Structure 1
Amino acid sequence: MSHTVTKRELVQRIADQTGQTKVLVRDVIQLFLDEVANELIAGNRLEFRKFGVFEVRNRPGRVAQNPKTLEKVIVPAKRVVKFKVGNVLKKRVEVGVAPAAPIDEVAPAPPTNQEPPQSGGFGGPSSY
């Protein structure tokens, strides 16, 4: 069963793996999150190859209906953040592959031609 992972837990894991202080790791993660938020607020698209794409989409206003009272309600236009998962992450989630395990070793694709298989760069956490 899955559980919610907090920023604090990620900070601890990364600090343990890198030997950096938790304060430094926390500050870097927070700076990264702030920059992602700033780009989305500006309406920019963020693409992290093999991981996914964050983008802002505009939803038009519409008229909705309250299901209990059947009263018509005006829903204003708004901007929403969408995330589209990348192919590498999608495959890893589907087969339950941890980031350090190359996906080609866990679920190899059947060969479709005579060319040798190419490495997909699935070596570790920084491969996204």
Structure 2
Amino acid sequence: MGNLTRRDLVVQVAEETNLPQQQAAKVLGSLLRILMESFGNRQNIELRNFGVFEIALRRARVGRNPRSPGRDITIPPRAVVRFKPGKQVKRILQKVTQELLEESAGKKSSP
């Protein structure tokens, strides 16, 4: 179970839509460009049943440089993207949670 890459998405979209991979790549590229432009315009992105990508401001905080942990540094505030899952994604995550809990319980009980 590796990560899903851009290339994997292109291949899957091409297979499901019967489009050539070049066209699927162009569609995916356009979609990602539009999403990034929306973030640049400070728009949230709402995809029904999937979820909402929201722009939020992370407050300034104090952190430490791992290379010199004796000194505190101030991390400035910055805009971040947060994801709030929709109903269908929540259901999937509940199943994944259950599977992960069962796997971890199995690892603990085996000698």
TM-score (norm 2): 0.75
1:23 and 1:60, CA in 2 relative to 1: closer, same or farther beyond 3 A?
Answer: same
Hey, what does 1:87 align to over in structure 2? 87
CA RMSD of aligned residues (A): 1.8
Task: Supply the distance in 1 between the matched residues of 2:60 and 2:70 (Cα, whole angstroms).
Answer: 19
Q: Which stretches in structure 1 are left out of the alignment for 5+ residues? A: 97-128
Larger fraction in strand: 2
Question: How many Å separate the matches in 1 of 2:69 and 2:6?
Answer: 41
Distance 1:18 1:4 in 2: 22
Matching of residues 1-128 of structure 1 within 5 Å: 2-66=1-65, 69-95=69-95
Q: CA deviation at 1:71?
A: 1.3
Measured against aligned partners, the alpha-carbon deviations of 1:84-114 in whole angstroms (never above 9, x if no partner) come to 1111111023236xxxxxxxxxxxxxxxxxx
State the identity %: 28
Task: Measure, in 1, the Cα distance between the counterparts of 2:27 and 2:93.
Answer: 26
Sort the Cα spacing of 1:11 and 1:69 in 2 relative to 1 into closer, same or farther, 3 A.
closer
Hey, what's the Cα distance between the residues in 2 that align with 1:83 and 1:92?
Answer: 15
SS class of match (1:71): strand
What secondary structure, in the 3-state scheme, does the structure 2 residue paired with 1:69 have?
Answer: strand
Deviation by residue 1:40-59 (Cα, 9 ceiling, x = unmatched)? 12211111010000011111
1:82 to partner: Cα distance: 0.7
Instruction: Indicate how the Cα distance of structure 1 residues 62 and 25 shifts in structure 2: closer, same or farther if over 3 A, else same.
Output: same
Number of residue pairs matched?
A: 95
Greater helix share, structure number:
2
